[in-house]
């Protein structure tokens, strides 16, 4: 087991990964995992041929990119105490690992400071803390919020945010369209609003029910309900008042509280000791379990 492992995912971003991956591999004493999530560029084959020291996870037959599920699969393949999630367009300074290692302490997770919206998904956390909260919420679809949701749940666990130097990271410039090219919903703002509302409602329900974790089948049902409501409202031209900025406070607490209570009432059958993997017949909009890579 190493002390640090870099985990990155790729779907249609091989050009960026070719530039960034060598900066991960160059970090002394660290491992690297690349998750090829049905990438049309043949990422897994390229990595295996050019960087055989990298652990490759192959996922096939996925019509859309699911970054939360992809990162969880990357963690399953990692063998390290500390997990560093990096995007395919992130370049690391040569001394990244040497400068970050002395900072790492249990009870904390780490993000770059100063923060950048382009690096919002980069963090370092201990593998046991990641497992304790169930990892990323794999029912999330499309662009946005899977990272913020992870940070909120780590904080709820008592794991506190700490910084590492932001100058150790460089982000490759690219068109915003690359962010949504592999998603059904092409609007960054719309999908971020949808996912943010779902996460708020989910965590409110967990608090109301006194649950530390809501099983995936129930979360899939909730996500389907929230998706249907938000997309219908958007199609009807209604104003979406949900928070979409990473560090912004809620802008319409009354509306969000009412919405949370409404969804809570829809799920009143959720038992206190609900099984973690109960079978379900989720609506088509809800994500399905990933096939084994």
| SS3 label, residue 51 | coil
Task: Supply the pTM of this predicted model.
Answer: 0.80
- pLDDT in tens for each of the 293 residues of the chain? 899 999 999 998 899 999 999 999 999 999 999 999 999 999 999 999 999 999 999 999 888 889 999 999 999 999 999 999 999 999 999 999 999 999 999 999 999 998 877 788 999 999 999 999 999 999 999 888 899 999 999 999 999 999 999 999 998 765 655 555 666 666 777 787 788 888 988 888 888 777 778 899 999 998 998 888 778 777 777 665 544 333 333 444 444 545 555 554 454 344 444 433 332 322 222 333 333 33
| SS3 label, residue 138 | coil
**CA pair distance 99, 116, nearest whole angstrom:** 20
Q: Detail the DSSP E strand segments found in the chain.
A: 2-10, 31-37, 55-59, 80-85, 90-92, 108-113, 123-126, 160-165, 169-171
Question: Which residues are registered as beta bridge partners of 57?
Answer: 35
The answer to whether the beta carbons of residues 278 and 222 sit under 8 Å apart is no
Q: The sheet that has 108-113: what strands, in order across it?
A: 55-59, 31-37, 2-10, 80-85, 123-126, 108-113, 160-165
Q: Which helix (H) or strand (E) holds 25?
A: helix 14-25
**What is the CA 180 to chain-centroid distance, rounded?**
15
- Tell me the fold of 2-179: Spore Coat Polysaccharide Biosynthesis Protein SpsA; Chain A (3.90.550)
Report domain extents, the chain: 2-179, 188-266
Query: What phi-psi label fits residue 135: left (phi over 0), alpha (psi between -120 and 50 degrees) or beta?
Result: left
Q: Detail the DSSP E strand segments found in 132-265.
A: 160-165, 169-171
């Amino acid at each position: 087991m190493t002390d640090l492992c870099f985990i990155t995912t790729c779907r249609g971003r091989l050009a960026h990964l070719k530039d960034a991956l060598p900066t991960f591999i160059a970090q002394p004493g660290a491992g690297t995992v690349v998750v090829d999530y049905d990438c049309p560029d043949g990422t897994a084959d390229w990595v295996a041929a050019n960087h055989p020291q990298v652990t490759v996870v192959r996922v096939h037959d996925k019509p859309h990119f699911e970054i939360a599920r992809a990162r969880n699969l990357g963690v399953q393949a990692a063998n390290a105490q500390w997990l560093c999630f990096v995007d395919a367009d992130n370049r690391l300074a040569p001394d990244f690992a040497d400068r970050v290692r002395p900072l790492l302490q249990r009870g904390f997770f780490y993000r770059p400071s100063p923060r950048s919206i382009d690096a919002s998904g980069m963090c370092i956390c201990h593998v046991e803390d990641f497992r304790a909260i169930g990892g990323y919420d794999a029912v999330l679809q499309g662009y946005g919020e899977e990272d913020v949701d992870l940070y909120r749940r780590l904080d709820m666990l008592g794991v506190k945010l700490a910084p590492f130097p932001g100058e150790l990271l460089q982000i490759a410039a690219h068109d915003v369209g690359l962010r949504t090219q592999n998603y059904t919903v092409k609007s960054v703002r719309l999908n971020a609003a949808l996912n943010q509302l779902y996460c708020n409602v989910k965590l409110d329900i967990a608090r109301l029910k006194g649950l530390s974790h809501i099983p995936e089948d129930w979360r899939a049902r909730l996500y389907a309900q929230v998706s249907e409501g938000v997309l219908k409202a958007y199609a009807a031209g209604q104003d979406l008042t949900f928070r979409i900025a990473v560090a912004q406070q809620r802008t319409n607490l009354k509306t969000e509280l009412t919405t949370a209570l409404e969804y809570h009432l829809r799920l009143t059958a959720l038992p206190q000791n609900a099984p973690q993997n109960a079978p379900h017949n989720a609506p088509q909009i809800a994500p399905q379990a990933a096939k084994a890579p």
